[in-house]
Amino acid sequence: MRRIYFLVPDQESCRRIVAELEASGVPQHHLHVVASMDQVLEDLPEASAWQKTELKHGIEIGVGLGASAGLLSGLLALAFPPGGLILGGGAVLAMTAAGAGYGTLVSALMKGHEQNHRVHDFEPALMRGELLLMVDIPRHDLERAKALVLEHHPEAEIGVVARRAAPSVP
């Protein structure tokens, strides 16, 4: 899957693009619209916190770091048992799971309020009243979707992002 970013000048253009993409077979749950805080997106598929924030990235980091810290703590407790306790592999697993859970929670709380760095690049346009339509589409349909939108909506600017690269808007 790839994500295409369409910078659209107004809600009416965005509605038409969404309708055309849905008619061409793109499911609505693959369409995400971001606008400035003062715009109300009535019947457009508004992007969730998952798309607008760094929550996903924070969870990924939190699981990895928390599990690593929990595993290290468990191995240290196994090697140097506190107060003469006899610990086994279950304690190591429990500490690894607890560390992963704690790391996930803390990192998600921190990153859940941080704006997605890809969306941040479009912030000046959003403040001018434009809308950002994000479309998740299979790699083989990428060119077809871009052509469909540009054919009927030359006013839309397009940027394609693959993984963690910054968007490029021609």
β-bridge partners, 66? none
Residues of the chain below pLDDT 50: 162-170
What is the per-residue pLDDT for 143? Answer: 83
pLDDT in tens, 131-160: 988 888 888 888 888 888 888 778 777 775
Domains of the chain listed by start with CATH number: 2-53+116-161 (3.30.70.2170), 55-111 (no CATH)
What is the per-residue pLDDT for 72? Answer: 96
Q: Which residue has the tokens 């479009």?
A: 122
Q: Which residue has the tokens 């000046």?
A: 124
What is the per-residue pLDDT for 68? Answer: 96
* C-alpha neighbours within 13 Å on the C-beta side of residue 32: 17
The letter for the amino acid at 115 is Q
What is the per-residue pLDDT for 160? Answer: 57
pTM score, whole prediction: 0.68
Number of alpha helices (DSSP H) and beta strands (DSSP E) in the chain: 7, 4
Residues 6 or more apart in contact with residue 119 via CB below 8 angstroms: 34, 51, 52, 132
How many angstroms separate the CA atoms of 83 and 14, rounded? 65
Distance of CA 21 to the CA centre of its chain: 21
What is the per-residue pLDDT for 164? Answer: 46
Residues 6 or more apart in contact with residue 92 via CB below 8 angstroms: 71, 74, 75, 77, 78
Are the C-beta atoms of residues 9 and 147 closer than 8 Å to each other? no
**Which 3 state secondary structure label does DSSP give 57?**
helix
What is the per-residue pLDDT for 7? Answer: 87
pLDDT in tens, 30-48: 999 988 887 887 888 888 8
Let me know how long the chain is: 170
